[in-house]
Chains A and B, each alone.
Chain A
């Protein structure tokens, strides 16, 4: 095909050398010469060589003129059938997919990758011909349609692209490309279909293609059909840096999860890095004040750990962050989290006034302390167990079946349930519980002669899930006087063990690991009517240790990942329906009720600290949301990988907008051979010049080997 076929007429010029040759042969000048006998002999000797040389010269000159004529005609090689022809051009439907992940904010010398991609998108739209339709998708955690219905109003599309901003999540390019192709596929007209993917070249964004290559969606169809992979042309711009450098705090773990005032805690930070190994300084700030900084060297593609120790934190919620020095990708340089420090752990005591008297005093020596709450067994359904670290049941059985289920769920999720038998408690009521360490039998009286018992902690057996230490003050003898005791007849249940005995073979405290939580059963009640245990010096430490055994059914995470969905109570302490949560930008957070007073936070929209506005109009930090740091790993994808993982037959990959424009041009109009032909013409002209002026002229003859002196003496030859 030719860009300017009119110039093909110039091919007639190829006959010029022949014509000139013929003309020259006829137009001769008469030249006298001393003798022509030498000319005749030379002509005879050179005729075959001259004919060959003349033929070569003619060939070179003709080829040169043909090459020049072809160059003017702009020859192109079509890549696709049905492309633009002499008479007109076919219409195009174009989908532009822009990577919206936060790694697109990587700052390069030329500017942010995001800006480069947006500019490239604008160029693509502006290069379209009137009548070409275009739609635009933003690849985020899902495909976000920017211009969903393909339109010919290119100015509108350009405006929409320029108004786009990047997101804080990872991009799923496969979903966005699939959505774009579905949109193009829905257009019935027979047009050329092209999809442009403008991204930073991060390998992560393309992982979806690999995993979804054979995956089928809900309607049993492949996400991108083979037919579309063959039919649609995929143009990809990998605009990011070839070797990116990025250091970032990848994860923070606070231990223990339940922090008490006065206790020390540890903050373990994992630091990730892309690029060459380099020391990274990690700085910890609490409530805006720098708490410490440490240096760590992270190898590329791995994560290094660094720890901070926190001491003497005040009770309350502290906003903390770990940060790395500012680099080209500033979005992931800080990682925020909350430190919730309790004065005491919240405990619920279930039972009558008399039954819980000693326990309440042990748990909350000051009467005004609100960390211990007491409810009657019948009012258990009015409280949310998840608000408490541990629940003590003192002579509280039997309970309703609903409450039993709630307690079991609570323990499964990490809570601690401690059972003390009571006066009114029928041992058969224990049978309804599936979480108890053992099923108790009858209550037995202990003779006064046998009342004094020494409490002994049994050593931990191998594989025992539940553990207990006897924290006794110095000089304290763990001895109690028993009046009554709940007899344990059978063997402990699965994952259960007898932790303390009161005399030989008499279980005193049994424990069982249930899910993430613990269930404990005392064989004596929490009153004087059962034993002297509530009056002993070790009653308080034992009880407090039990509370800490749980992993915290009411422990909210120090930080959550952006886009996560979770029950409100798991994320926000003591969440109530009337609570107003605001996101960092100031907008209210949408909380969805799923029924039964269950609330769910759906897809946390932006990173930062979320606040709860209290009744007194003061704000309390309740959530620290961070971006998913998988996106921070900037390992690049190669053009071959793109072609391989996408599986598109026509896949073109460019490193910058100019190259993309050139490749698009080549594909649409065909590859131009003009430059090549011009180079050929230049070579031919050089060959012709060299042949005609150097090769033919440089031949030495015998007379040039003769040496004639000034006196005419001839030597050599």
Chain B
């Protein structure tokens, strides 16, 4: 029987491996529930934030009487609000994501889905909320952000129903998503980024402009990096269907140079806008990668 939901992507051992991990945002976020993440709002908590002048209507119990005694002025004590994290996973299902150089290795899309499932699992275990956007040429699915395992399982079932499609207009869809997410959140983009580079960078910048924390998992097959193919062939573009006859051995160097420049462009652009850019290849086990990544992120946020 075919597995459904999260069990289609993660087995018990993998989930156990991810149990103790947390996905933190590097910036303040705006959640709907109380949580362990700093909120942009001031509210009730034990952590003092600042003072402000008393205004009519304020609760008298919030007046700082010690300040009144010293200064004879009314000040209200404000406390840092703590809220839960809302994580939005953006999954690219364009045609190019349906590539694998080795039949024993997952396609980039399968790898990205597994990565999304693992991240969602980690987020939910930390009692935070996770939502997902699946897009290709257009927005295919916008799964709401919930902190429920059942909801997430249902989302993953929906994800299972999608297959990669031909074209991609990732930048447009991302702008659309950036407008849709009203509160500050953590946006995780899982894509091969084989699109208009400038458009993608601008779309990611849109997220940053809306004060979202952004992580980009640039997912590639190892052969895409090195063009390590043995023989010449007629290559067919998975998105446009265009064909070209080429001998990969003779042009490997130039290809690697071009691909290197492509990655470097993203790396520099994302570094400038403080986006966490990570290059993931499909030959690395998802659970190992997620664990290593989250542990490093935890260390960095201390």
Contact = CB atoms under 8 A, between A and B. Distances in A.
B258 A29 contact: no
B269 interface: no
Interface stretch (B37-45, B60-68, B241-249): B241-249
B107 to A, nearest CB: 10
A48 to B, nearest CB: 11
A29 B234 contact: yes
Contacts of B258: 38, 41-42, 45, 702
B289 to A, nearest CB: 7
Contacts of B279: 706, 708, 712-714
B238 interface: yes
Interface stretch (A139-147, A479-487, A553-561, A693-701): A693-701
B267 A717 contact: yes
B238 A711 contact: no
B168 to A, nearest CB: 10
Given A45-B254, A696-B250, A708-B279, A702 B259 contact: yes
B237 A36 contact: yes
Given A34-B238, A697-B249, A39 B224 contact: no
Interface string A21-53: 000110011111111111111110110001001
Contacts of A36: 235-237, 240, 242-244
Q: For chain A, what secondary structure do more than half of its interface residues adopt (helix, strand, loop), or is it mixed?
A: mixed
B99 A701 contact: no
Interface in A666-717: 696-697, 699-706, 708, 710-714, 717
Contact of B259 (A28, A38, A696, A713): A38
Interface stretch (B78-86, B147-155, B169-177, B225-233): B225-233
A476 to B, nearest CB: 125
A708 B253 CA distance: 19
B257 to A, nearest CB: 5
B255 A39 contact: yes
A705 B224 CA distance: 15
Contacts of B263: 703, 706, 714, 717
A705 B260 contact: yes
A90 interface: no
Q: Which of B192, B226, B229, B259 has the most CB of A within 10 A?
A: B259
B253 A703 contact: no
A311 B225 CA distance: 110
A33 B99 contact: yes
Contacts of A400: none
Interface string B263-300: 11001000000000111110010001100110010000
A701 B96 contact: no
Interface in A35-82: 35-43, 45-46, 50, 53-54
Given A35-B238, A702-B260, A714-B279, A28 B255 contact: no
Contacts of A50: 247, 250-251
B293 A703 contact: no
A703 B225 contact: yes
A35 B237 contact: yes
B42 to A, nearest CB: 34
Nearest to A44: B254
A33 B238 contact: yes
Contacts of B8: none
Given A36-B242, A714-B267, A53 B292 contact: no
A34 B221 contact: yes
A45 B257 CA distance: 10
B235 A31 contact: yes
Contacts of A41: 254, 258
Nearest to A702: B260
Given A39-B246, A42-B254, A706-B263, 17 more contacts: A28-B232, A28-B245, A29-B231, A31-B233, A33-B235, A34-B108, A34-B221, A35-B96, A35-B238, A43-B246, A43-B254, A45-B257, A50-B251, A706-B279, A714-B267, A714-B278, A717-B263
Interface of B: 96-97, 99, 108, 192, 194, 217-218, 221, 224-227, 229, 231-240, 242-264, 267, 277-281, 284, 288-289, 292-293, 296
14 contacts: A28-B233, A34-B239, A35-B238, A36-B237, A42-B254, A46-B254, A53-B250, A701-B254, A706-B260, A706-B263, A711-B293, A712-B217, A712-B278, A713-B296
